[in-house]
Structure 1
Amino acid sequence: MKFTFLKIKFLHRFYLSDFFFVIFCSTSLFLNCATTSKIPNLSNFSPEVLQSRVARNLQNLQSFEGKARVIIELPGKGYNGFANIFMKLPDSVYVKTEAILGIDIGGLFLDQRFFAAYAPRDNILYYGEAESLDLRDFLEIEIDTDELFEVFTGLNQIVVNDTSKLVFAGGKFVITTQLNQQSLIYEVDPDKYIVTKSRLVDAEGKTILLKEYRRLRKIKGLVLPQIIKLTRPQARERITVYYTSQKVNKKIAAEKFKIKPAKNAKRVYWGDRKRPVIDRDLQKTNPN
């Protein structure tokens, strides 16, 4: 009887372990199948198709109004404060800053032709042609006007050419485009069709420029990130925008796009400056 009991107990353990093994395999197979089913058929996509899908989000944006905390990090120093951002597409941008200590800019207006910037500390209103503006003179961080638009909307558009290649990795579409000795690498959310990360790398694979877009949310049919980061690792520079409020496609009064300097502010045409606002020998990393 003792032998029989041990045999029955052994068989019970054997079948029980076998049962759990089958359950484990079945569950693993199901999960693998479920994961595999989420991988899109790349034959239905191309870099050009994704470029078009990503662009739709921007095409539906007519106006933008937001309030954000802005953090600027530079070697040995940093600035942070709040800003109100107003945009009327396709080209008008107005940024009103609040207490960004160390940055002498109270308001910046920019469109395709002209710009105006008020420096409250010096009580000077600068104005001139947009193509002559170097934003480093005000923000101290290297950023061009196109990047300024991307930083405040979080909508990075995709550049493609004959070298562009598409793969699916890490749950994202990944597009790689060669630009002379550099490469642009985009990661695109497969459900929302928005760029979540882009990198400009040199011939050695070192990152020159990194753009990150996080906390995606849908507002009136548009997908926008709440956190945007632009980093230049080699220059050790970064600008981060944390949105606390975002409104889209609402009518914005023309008054919101007007800079209101002090009545006794000095007006200076940008081309008539006697000296640069900051040291022009600072390292430049823009591939253009």
Structure 2
Amino acid sequence: MNDRIVAGLDGSTESLAAARWAAREGLLRGLPLHLVHAEEWSSPRDLPMPTSDVRRHWAQALLNETADELRASHPGLEVGIRSIDGRPAAELASVAVGANMIVLGSRGLGTVTGFVLGSVGMAVIQATVRPVVMVRASEDAVPHPDGRHTARELLAGVDISRPCDALLAFAFEEAARRACALHVLHSWSLPPLVGYGAAYDPRVHAQLEMSAEASLHDVLAPWRDKYPDVGVISRASLGHAATELIRMGAEAGLIVVGRRIRRSSIGAHIGPVTHAVLHHAKAPVAVIAHE
């Protein structure tokens, strides 16, 4: 059963922000939080390394201190801890098999550079079909009254030419839990057969925009019916999807994007739009795997 939230913890400010975000999410969903430290210790030849006992003591102290902090700030939240030796990405993905979601920290280098998504975060996203949320350290600077997510709207990016039920289910359920509005964005480009003259014809733009808006409305209709209390603001716009998501999601509480599940080990497992959003968005980003 998917009965818990897993947060990866390595002692960085980003992972601590992720653990705090995961605690608020656990409170929202009524689920326990499991803090997991996984690390493969190695060093170049001739460089000193801490002994295994020292490493284990440090990891255990980190887990205990963080768990105590979260229990104190979120009364009633069940917090478990686990320390694992091994490759972090593989171990975290393995632990997440039975989890509701996995939450990781991601380094940010300012508003221009955005996320620097480490190899562990990228590998976990590729290796698991569970939702993965990436959180920047700056999320800790946002006020969260009563230890809960602050009231900010959600943003979901959809490609109406592909199945997106898993993504929309996650986005609508999260918006319903938070009692906030959900923005849904579909960005489209001019068809390659549209000539240069037609590309600048406002009538062509208007016709294509109407068609995209109608298709998006049809995709969202059953979800609006299922979640009548969720306020939905939908938009179909001409432009680059990643650029629009990053711009519109600057003040969002969460950006929801998707990735296709690939059974083959060959080829990209994270599409260019999701990849760009992960690297440059300011808000937490949830990556939802779908067929």
Same fold (TM > 0.5): no
Kindly name which structure, 1 or 2, has the bigger radius of gyration based on alpha carbons: 1
TM-score, with length taken from structure 2: 0.22
- Structure with more of its chain in helix, by fraction: 2
TM-score, with length taken from structure 1: 0.22
